[in-house]
Amino acid sequence: MLVLLPPSEGKAAAGTGPALDLAGLSMPELNSVRRQVLDSLITLCEGDERKALEVLGLGPKLHGEVLRNLDLREAPALTVSRLYTGVLYDALDLPSLEGAAAARAAGGILIFSGLWGALRPTDRVPPYRCSMGVRLPGIGALAGQWRTVMAPVLPRLGGERLVLDLRSAAYGAAWKPTGAVAERTATVRVLHEKIVDGVAKRSVVSHFNKATKGRVTRDLLISGAEPRNPVELADALRDLGWTVETAEPKMPGTPWALDIVVAAV
């Protein structure tokens, strides 16, 4: 199973190890674009701070993020499993995984990034700030840049595995499964069900959407479940105690949709 995750704006304050080794990152086919994006981001942050804040979508109080981007080549790096913080990653808690579960995470999780394209939990990068929605000078829309280079890489990486796509829309734009890959891809929506005047009502949740996706991923990693398609994935999640409803694709070559229904958020 290949699990696709979004990053988090929340990150560790600093790395603790050697500086970035771009050549040492997984998926070396992405390195040419990684280098271009890194160069453009640092050049932007070396210039007018107000422009850098505007391009990166940051308020004045976050000017420290611009300064941090200046040192991306020299700053101490840390493993991606410890880089991201926030609701999803607190629930997933990658650093606490051990043994077979940790090995499954290392080989089966890809975390998408505006700066790095996609990373494995074992990759090492410094804390940074650059979301997928940014349009960098000389680069343009990052999703478009990554979409071009990822198109041949991700299908090969996935092989015949089920793809569990938990990305947000912005990061989903960097690679969209097609054809046979899409047919064994499942996207997830989290619904909160509550009883109002004796009637069950459901609503899409936001904050707890992330927490649920983190918990689901952790449960699958620890359980050792190896579903081969979306139907088997739904069954595996039900075995783990989740309430899951499936929607078969209406058109060939498109992903399955899974609704995970939670009563407590």
Q: 142-166: per-residue pLDDT in tens?
A: 999 999 999 999 999 988 999 999 9
| Rounded-to-integer distance, Cα 192 and Cα 210, Å | 13
Query: pLDDT-derived band of residue 232, with 50, 70 and 90 as boundaries?
Result: very high
Grouping H, G, I as helix, E, B as strand and the rest as coil, residue 184 is coil
Q: Is the pLDDT of residue 5 over 90?
A: yes
Query: pLDDT-derived band of residue 176, with 50, 70 and 90 as boundaries?
Result: very high
pLDDT in tens, 191-213: 886 766 666 676 777 667 899 99
Give the model's pLDDT for residue 195: 66
Q: Which amino acid is at 149?
A: V
Q: What is the mean pLDDT of residues 52-64?
A: 92
Give the model's pLDDT for residue 13: 87
How many angstroms separate the most distant Cα atoms in the chain?
60
Q: What is the mean pLDDT of the chain?
A: 93
Residues 6+ positions from 221 with CB-CB distance below 8 Å: 97, 101, 104, 105, 108
| Rounded-to-integer distance, Cα 119 and Cα 124, Å | 9
Q: Is the pLDDT of residue 128 over 70?
A: yes
Q: Which of 48-52, 74-78, 190-194, 239-243 has the lowest mean pLDDT?
A: 190-194
What are the C-alpha distances in Å from 244 to residues 97, 189, 237?
A: 25, 10, 7
Q: What is the mean pLDDT of residues 209-225?
A: 95
Give the model's pLDDT for residue 198: 67
Residue 118 is encoded by which pair of tokens?
A: 């996609």
The whole model's pTM is what? 0.94
Q: What is the mean pLDDT of residues 2-14?
A: 94
Q: Tokens 């650059």, residue?
A: 130
Burial zone of 257 (CB within 10 Å; 0-12 exposed, 13-18 middle, 19+ buried): middle
